[in-house]
Structure 1
Amino acid sequence: MTEPKTERVPRRRAETRRRLLDAALPVFAEEGFGRSTVEQICERAGYTRGAFYSNFASLDELFLAMWERRSAAMTEAVRATFDELTATDLPDVRAIVKHVLPAIPVDDAWFRVSAEFTAHALRNPSLLRVMTAREDAIAEALMPLMVDLLARAGRSIPDPVALGQALVALHDGTSAQCLVDPANPLVRQRREDLFVRVITAYTKENHDD
């Protein structure tokens, strides 16, 4: 039976959007966000400018959609890691870090593009507000998982917002160090050590009454 036209159109649109998003990251990473063009992304994806503008109003909107998709994938990876763990896997903070940190990879292309876009957003207050709101939404999705993980290791978080901000800053800073010196195993070990120290500093040990 032939698929109804009303169903084919949304599927084609979703496929077009997916291919444009897939094409955007390598173009942004190779050319730089500020030097990339709609035409370059369309050429990589195999579409025309019309296909782009039927899905996105601008490269800013495309990047934000790409960021949202990537954040959702990262959140699901952390959730999957959480679901695989058992209570015996989590004797302390370091055990949590060792299990969860691989779900938040250090990605060269993404780091370059996101750093450039952040600099771009700092010159655009309305865009910066959108980024801030979306970062808050990511933290709100991830921190309950961290609260549960730490509770299973016998620790609680007095201020989840402060810990979330500290972890984002730590991830960004140590990602840069890992990318600058990728062959040095000590850099990644220090990254793990720093996560342990920061989480320990922002949490407290629970004591049975």
Structure 2
Amino acid sequence: MGDLRTVSHRRAVTRQRLVDAALGVFAEQGFGRTTVEQVCDRAGFTRGAFYSNFSSLDELFLAMWEQRSADMVSGLHTAFEERMPDQVGSVREAVEFALAVIPVDEDWYRVSAEFTAHALRTPGMRWVMAERERGIQRALLPVIERLLAMNGQEVVNRDALGQALVAVHDGTLVQCLVEPDDEVVHARRVDLFVLVVEAHTKESR
């Protein structure tokens, strides 16, 4: 039994190192240009170690994506809880707080953009994208609602607001990454979020 646990632990460590290595390689090379050898070199393993854990780069890509997405959602929830203000004075203040907590990660954006395109081309994988968006909404909406309640606002349609927030975040993030030093781009991102939130909320009675 002890040997089995040792083998299982070793396998889990190997698998995790491959997943961790994959993010960097995919971000640098692009999924379509990445090879098994490149991932193995980054992780410090042989092809045999790779194929004892994954049947293909597609399977590794999906495992990396799902784990990273789950970690991101969990991290967002924790960050919001730890940094939640005692009060906010306006919708804009609530939006500015939320955007300050949400990380801007160029490597992850490169990978997620490629995965989106890959999922749209691959039958049966669109559900992964849909679940990712639902996960983000589940993490963000309760926090957004708490922030808005501090300012006497309530959400009119949770699903509509959740979808709109994800769409605005993904779209404006591209602009911020392309022009990271342009203050106008970042200011307009905040403006757009404020308009979206205001369109989906009303004053509490």
Check if 1:143 corresponds to 2:137. Answer: no
Structure 2 counterparts to residues 165-204 of structure 1, below 5 A: 165-204=163-202
| Greater CA drift, 126-135 or 35-44 | 126-135
Q: Gaps (5+ residues) in structure 2?
A: none
Aligned partners of 1:74 and 1:103 also within 8 Å: no
After TM superposition, give the deviation of residue 126 of structure 1 in Å. Answer: 0.7
C-alpha distance in structure 2 between counterparts of 1:94 and 1:81, whole Å: 19
Aligned partners of 1:42 and 1:48 also within 8 Å: yes
Structure 2 counterparts to residues 33-72 of structure 1, below 5 A: 33-72=31-70
After TM superposition, give the deviation of residue 151 of structure 1 in Å. Answer: 2.4
Check if 1:78 corresponds to 2:62. Answer: no
Aligned residues: 205
Aligned partners of 1:21 and 1:62 also within 8 Å: yes
After TM superposition, give the deviation of residue 87 of structure 1 in Å. Answer: 5.8
1:142-162 Cα offsets, whole Å, 9 max, x none, are 323323332233222121111
Secondary structure, aligned partner of 2:86 = helix
Aligned-residue CA RMSD (Å): 2.2
- The 1:6–1:41 alpha-carbon spacing in structure 2 relative to 1, beyond 3 Å, is same
Partner of 2:108: 110
After TM superposition, give the deviation of residue 86 of structure 1 in Å. Answer: 5.3
C-alpha distance in structure 2 between counterparts of 1:56 and 1:155, whole Å: 48
After TM superposition, give the deviation of residue 98 of structure 1 in Å. Answer: 2.1
C-alpha distance in structure 2 between counterparts of 1:103 and 1:19, whole Å: 28
- The 1:182–1:82 alpha-carbon spacing in structure 2 relative to 1, beyond 3 Å, is closer
C-alpha distance in structure 2 between counterparts of 1:103 and 1:151, whole Å: 19
| Greater CA drift, 153-162 or 69-78 | 69-78
After TM superposition, give the deviation of residue 206 of structure 1 in Å. Answer: 0.8
C-alpha distance in structure 2 between counterparts of 1:96 and 1:198, whole Å: 13
- The 1:175–1:62 alpha-carbon spacing in structure 2 relative to 1, beyond 3 Å, is same
Partner of 1:124: 122
Match of 1:24 among 22, 25, 28: 22
C-alpha distance in structure 2 between counterparts of 1:30 and 1:195, whole Å: 30
Q: Gaps (5+ residues) in structure 1?
A: none
C-alpha distance in structure 2 between counterparts of 1:117 and 1:87, whole Å: 35
What letter corresponds to residue 35 of structure 1 in structure 2?
Answer: R
Aligned partners of 1:78 and 1:103 also within 8 Å: yes
Partner of 1:94: 92
C-alpha distance in structure 2 between counterparts of 1:133 and 1:87, whole Å: 29
